[in-house]
Amino acid sequence: MSDIYPVNPDIAAKAHADNEKYLEMYKQSVDNPEEFWGEHGKRIDWFKPYTKVKNSSFDGDVDIRWFEDGTTNVAYNCLDRHLEKRGDQVAIIWEGDDPSESENITYKDLHQRVNKLANAMKAQGVGKGDRVTLYMPMIPEAAVAMLACARIGAIHAIVFGGFSPDALADRIKGSGSKMVITADEGLRGGRKVPLKANADLAMDREGVESCIVVKRTGGDIDMKDGRDVWYDEVTAAASADCPAEEMNAEDPLFILYTSGSTGMPKGVQHCTGGYLVYAAMTHEYIFDYHEGDVYWCTADVGWVTGHSYIVYGPLANGATTLMFEGVPNYPTVSRFWEVCDKHKVNIFYTAPTAIRSLMREGKEPVEKCSLDTLRVLGSVGEPINPEAWNWYNEVVGKGNCPIVDTWWQTETGGILISPLPGATALKPGSATRPFFGVEPQLVDNDGNVLEGATDGNLCMTTSWPGMMRTCYGDHERFKQTYFSTYAGKYFTGDGARRDEDGYYWITGRVDDVINVSGHRMGTAEVESALVAHAKVAEAAVVGAPHDLKGQGIYVYVTLNAGEEPSDELKKELVKWVRQEIGPIASPDWLQWSPGLPKTRSGKIMRRILRKIAEDDFDALGDTSTLADPGVVDELIENRQNRQ
């Protein structure tokens, strides 16, 4: 039996939904999605109202449309429609890496900045349907650039600032971006990140036409004549009046590259109308956001969490959203809590990996802050272990802030499974129940539907407004990746358990994706980086349990004939992967392996490699189908000797 934390009646009384209301709304949302979403689609303003609500099929060609004859604009919904009522309200609280730097940006101010940048982008020849790559630090200009794209109908593709020049170049190429927006340097934990220098390498490789550069640190960088312009200069010269482009509900809003089990990252494409409705509605109900709340999501805009729950959801709701440039342990390990006190944060949303690393520092850095404004806590990105959940609940939430453990994915656009603060009794480690309109299903490996309390592969049987529409430029890949494993269903790639109360417990990826500190990494990407090294013949990568990161990257490397393993070479290979992909892909462990366990048809048996990395030598399963079973003994021996 797991612990159960009942709903706090005071929170339920004021919340958007108590349990009864949740059950009623959920029932309506699945019994009659047309009526439910037809009503809730009105939470955003439409230029031309929709007459059709849902039109989607997970069969055949997989065609997903919501509100398909409606037109609107995302930036209009996040800015213009708030001006009359809350023009002087703070839209973005920006907290710099250095605690002495912060800034409040009102809706009026944000609107002006977005319009100016939008006009400056137009002047550079960017228009509706063009792709723009953003490679930005966590500064207000990142949100301004997203909204400026949305305003003119350009499609943004954000690349996390920790990715290498090559990874950036691949994404610029994949999205066919003609413009890049970046900054001279980023600043994180007191250290500078050479964004423009990295972008130069990528832009030179891809022949990018234009680049707008924000001056963040004033560091010394190269500006290429005819291509690079300063953000300050072009926006100062631009008009603050830029009409919002009329977009169809199904027009793309952004592309975001994410790792899958095979090949290079996919361009997950999200749309305008359904995405915004879903991001805004989940933000309001799941965080129980109320007028006047200060809301802080600690993610980076380079990930989907930053898109939906720092920028689009909160701003569509007219919220005050906090954007943080820094890291949890700079200048001290009290930083998160100091920021909560400084800006009177009511809703705080972070990742288990951050909680685990702060938990290690003990209670004292938390307890010296008051945290008395906090009301709701959130978790995202990976399963939260009960120990971290309890610490979050007791030490940070003082036992009276509900924790919403939100399960979702880049592909889903918004949260699919999560408690609602006033409705759901909590069980530490469970993402609990589906949001409105979400119909999860567990299936076995043959696709048989499993009922009741059971373990299985997590699928969705029907679409919700916020889900991705296609892989950019490759609809076939979209169909193959998500709808072919179990015909007619969206397969999430996650395993889950459903308990006797119908609560879902996400058990982690069942494919070759690993989750390192809440960041998604494809084992294939790391492998292809390794084999690109001149001394490496073969490599296999698996995830292995890691105290802080949740999962760490465990690599098995076979060297070319004539190459000798050494500690130096280990270091060189780790450095190589960092350079090829970025620091987030740094291998945590590297084991030399004279050979890899393969089937007779040449497929690497990762199941065995995972078990060896976990020191679980008795659970290797059947090794008789291996081409050379002797390889396994050798790997175990090397592992035991930590070679």
DSSP per-residue string spanning 548-567? TTEEEEEEEEEEPTT----H
x/- mask, ligand WTA, residues 435-474, rule CB under 6 A, reads ----------------------------------------
CA angle at 198 for the pair 196 and 201, rounded to the nearest 5°:
110
Beta strands in 479-535 (DSSP E): 490-498, 504-509, 513-516, 519-522
Q: How far is the CB of 634 from ligand WTA (least distance, A)?
A: 32
Q: How far is the CB of 240 from ligand WTA (least distance, A)?
A: 35
- Report the residue number whose CB is nearest to ligand WTA: 410
Report the DSSP beta bridge partners of residue 184: none
Report the DSSP beta bridge partners of residue 380: 406
| Closer residue to ligand WTA, CB minimum distance, 422 or 522 | 522
Q: Which of 35, 46, 619 has the alpha carbon at shortest distance from 316?
A: 46
The terminus-to-terminus CA distance of the chain in angstroms comes to 41
Tell me whether residue 607 is annotated as binding: no
| 3-state secondary structure at position 359 | helix
Name the pairing type of β-strands 71-72 and 513-516.
Answer: unpaired
Q: Which of 454, 588, 567, 451 has the alpha carbon at shortest distance from 517?
A: 588
Q: How far is the CB of 412 from ligand WTA (least distance, A)?
A: 8
d(C-alpha 210, C-alpha 9), whole Å:
55
Tell me whether residue 480 is annotated as binding: no
Q: How far is the CB of 480 from ligand WTA (least distance, A)?
A: 18
Token couple for 424: 């759901």
d(C-alpha 457, C-alpha 506), whole Å:
10
| Closer residue to ligand WTA, CB minimum distance, 313 or 318 | 313
With CB under 6 A as the rule, give the number of residues binding ligand WTA.
24
d(C-alpha 564, C-alpha 575), whole Å:
18
Contacts by residues 616-625 (CB-CB < 8 Å, ≥ 24 positions apart): 623/597, 625/599, 625/600
Tell me whether residue 174 is annotated as binding: no
Tell me whether residue 265 is annotated as binding: no
Tell me whether residue 341 is annotated as binding: no
Q: How far is the CB of 102 from ligand WTA (least distance, A)?
A: 27
Residues 491 and 411: beta-carbon distance below 8 Å: no
How large is the greatest C-alpha to C-alpha distance in the chain, in angstroms? 73
Q: Is 406 in the site for ligand WTA (CB under 6 A)?
A: yes
Of 365, 421, 422, 493, which one interacts with ligand WTA (CB under 6 A)? 493
Amino acid at 332: T
Handedness of CA 252, 254, 259, 262 (dihedral sign): positive
Tell me whether residue 301 is annotated as binding: no
Token couple for 154: 């350009």
| 3-state secondary structure at position 256 | strand
Q: Is 584 in the site for ligand WTA (CB under 6 A)?
A: no
Q: How far is the CB of 299 from ligand WTA (least distance, A)?
A: 8
Handedness of CA 88, 89, 91, 97 (dihedral sign): positive
Of 347, 459, 506, 632, which one interacts with ligand WTA (CB under 6 A)? 506
Q: Is 512 in the site for ligand WTA (CB under 6 A)?
A: no
Tell me whether residue 382 is annotated as binding: yes
Of 382, 511, 525, 580, which one interacts with ligand WTA (CB under 6 A)? 382
Of 164, 409, 462, 593, which one interacts with ligand WTA (CB under 6 A)? 409
Tell me whether residue 270 is annotated as binding: no
Residues 136 and 195: beta-carbon distance below 8 Å: yes
| Closer residue to ligand WTA, CB minimum distance, 465 or 493 | 493
Q: Is 478 in the site for ligand WTA (CB under 6 A)?
A: no
Site for ligand WTA, residues 109 to 138, rule: CB under 6 A:
none
x/- mask, ligand WTA, residues 549-568, rule CB under 6 A, reads --------------------
Which range touches ligand WTA (CB under 6 A), out of 301-309, 327-335, 466-474, 538-546? 301-309
Which range touches ligand WTA (CB under 6 A), out of 66-74, 234-242, 340-348, 404-412? 404-412
| 3-state secondary structure at position 471 | strand
Q: Is 269 in the site for ligand WTA (CB under 6 A)?
A: no
Residues 315 and 309: beta-carbon distance below 8 Å: no
| Closer residue to ligand WTA, CB minimum distance, 509 or 598 | 509
d(C-alpha 432, C-alpha 124), whole Å:
48
d(C-alpha 439, C-alpha 426), whole Å:
20
Q: Which of 343, 514, 479 has the alpha carbon at shortest distance from 62?
A: 479
Of 515, 517, 523, 558, which one interacts with ligand WTA (CB under 6 A)? 515
| 3-state secondary structure at position 180 | strand
d(C-alpha 514, C-alpha 534), whole Å:
26
Tell me whether residue 531 is annotated as binding: yes
Of 383, 421, 422, 552, which one interacts with ligand WTA (CB under 6 A)? 383
Site for ligand WTA, residues 220 to 259, rule: CB under 6 A:
258
| Closer residue to ligand WTA, CB minimum distance, 273 or 550 | 550
x/- mask, ligand WTA, residues 342-381, rule CB under 6 A, reads -------------------------------------xxx
Q: Is 305 in the site for ligand WTA (CB under 6 A)?
A: yes
Tell me whether residue 406 is annotated as binding: yes
Q: Which residues are annotated as a binding site for CoA?
A: 188-191, 305, 329, 517, 578
* Residues of the shown chain interacting with ligand WTA in the complex, contacts defined by CB under 6 A: 258, 303-305, 379-383, 405-410, 431, 492-494, 506, 508-509, 515, 520
Show binding-site residues for Mg(2+).
531, 533, 536
Binding residues for ATP: 381-383, 405-410, 494, 509, 520
